Amino acid sequence: MLVSMLALLGAPGCGSRGASRGQNEPPPVVDTAMTLRPIEDVLRDHTPALMRIPGVVGTAQGEEGGQPCIIVFVARRSEALGKSIPRELEGHPVRIDEVGEIRPLR
């Protein structure tokens, strides 16, 4: 099956330039479930940038509606902060949780 898929992917480049797809045909559907990186990798790679946003105090992996999501913990929710934090990262939804200031225990 993989060979068939590769053959189909290579087919548009085989003919003349205008023969790849009819103008009335919709673009091919891409299954994003196959293209998403694991949420653990996305969280690890984006946490340093998220932590540089003033007001962000932490990140975690969580669940929203039965699906995995990235949680961004903020000291205090604000409109400006909400605009600074993306709603999704690499296809994974992002949830913002207000948790207050985080201080080390003594």
The domain limits of the chain are 31-98
Residue 13 phi, psi dihedral angles, 5° rounding: -80, -5
Span 33-49, pLDDT tens digits: 556 899 999 999 999 99
Number of H helices, E strands in the chain: 4, 4
Phi, psi of 93 (to 5 degrees): -65, 150
pTM above 0.85, yes or no: no
3-state secondary structure (DSSP) of residue 97: strand
Stated as kind and residue range, the H or E segment containing 96 is strand 92-98
Q: What is the pLDDT of residue 68?
A: 95
Tell me the pLDDT of the chain averaged across its residues: 78
Under DSSP, is residue 45 helix (H, G, I), strand (E, B) or coil?
Answer: helix
CATH class assigned to 31-98? alpha beta
